[in-house]
Amino acid sequence: MVTGTGPHGRVVARDVEQAKSGKGLKAPAAAPSAGAPSIAPTMSDKQILSLFEPGSYDIVPHDGMRRTIAQRLTASIQNVPHFYLTIDCDIGKLLAAREEINAAAPKDKEKKPLYKISVNDFVIKAMAVALQKIPNCNVSWTESGMVKHHHSDVGVAVAMPGGLITPIIRKAETKTLSTISNEMKDFAARARSRKLKPEEYQGGTTAVSNLGMFGIKDFTAVINPPHATILAVGTSEERPVVRSGKIEIATMMSVTLSCDHRAIDGALGAELIGAFKQLIENPVMMMV
DSSP line for 125-139:
HHHHHHHHHSGGGSE
Cβ 236 vs Cβ 251: under 8 Å = yes
User: Residue 21: what pLDDT?
Assistant: 54
Q: Say which residue, 49 or 8, is predicted with more confidence.
A: 49
Confidence class for position 7, pLDDT limits 50, 70, 90: very low
pLDDT for 180 beyond 60? yes
What is the H or E stretch that residue 169 is in? strand 168-169
- Residue 119 near residue 287, CB atoms below 8 Å: no
The per-residue pLDDT for 9 is: 44
Instruction: Answer yes or no: are the C-beta atoms of 208 and 126 closer than 8 Å.
Output: no
Position 4 confidence tier, pLDDT thresholds 50, 70, 90 = very low
Global confidence as pTM: 0.83
Instruction: Region of 64 please: left (phi>0), alpha (psi -120 to 50) or beta.
Output: alpha
- On whether the 82-287 domain is CATH 2.40.110.10, my answer is no
**Residues with catalytic annotation?**
261
Looking at residue 115, its pLDDT comes to: 94
Mean pLDDT of the chain: 89
pLDDT beyond 50 at 1: no
> Cα–Cα distances in Å, from 226 out to 78, 138, 143, 154?
14, 11, 12, 12
What's the pLDDT at 5? 43
What are the pLDDT digits (tens) for 90-111? 999 999 999 999 999 999 999 9
pLDDT of 58 reads 95
Cis-peptide into 226, omega within 30 deg: yes
Exposed/middle/buried for 95, CB within 10 Å: 0-12, 13-18, 19+? middle
Does residue 16 surpass a pLDDT of 90? no
Strands 82-90 and 246-260: antiparallel
Residue 18 has pLDDT above 70, yes or no: no
Q: What is the pLDDT of residues 191-217, one digit of tens each?
A: 988 899 999 999 999 999 999 999 999
CA distance 13 to 1: 17
Helix (H, G, I), strand (E, B) or coil at 99: helix
Query: Between the CA atoms of 50, 69, 157 and 257, what dihedral angle is there, to the nearest 10 degrees?
Result: 90
Mean pLDDT, range 227-231, rounded to an integer: 98
* Band of residue 42 on the pLDDT scale cut at 50, 70, 90: confident
d(CA 228, CA 259): 6
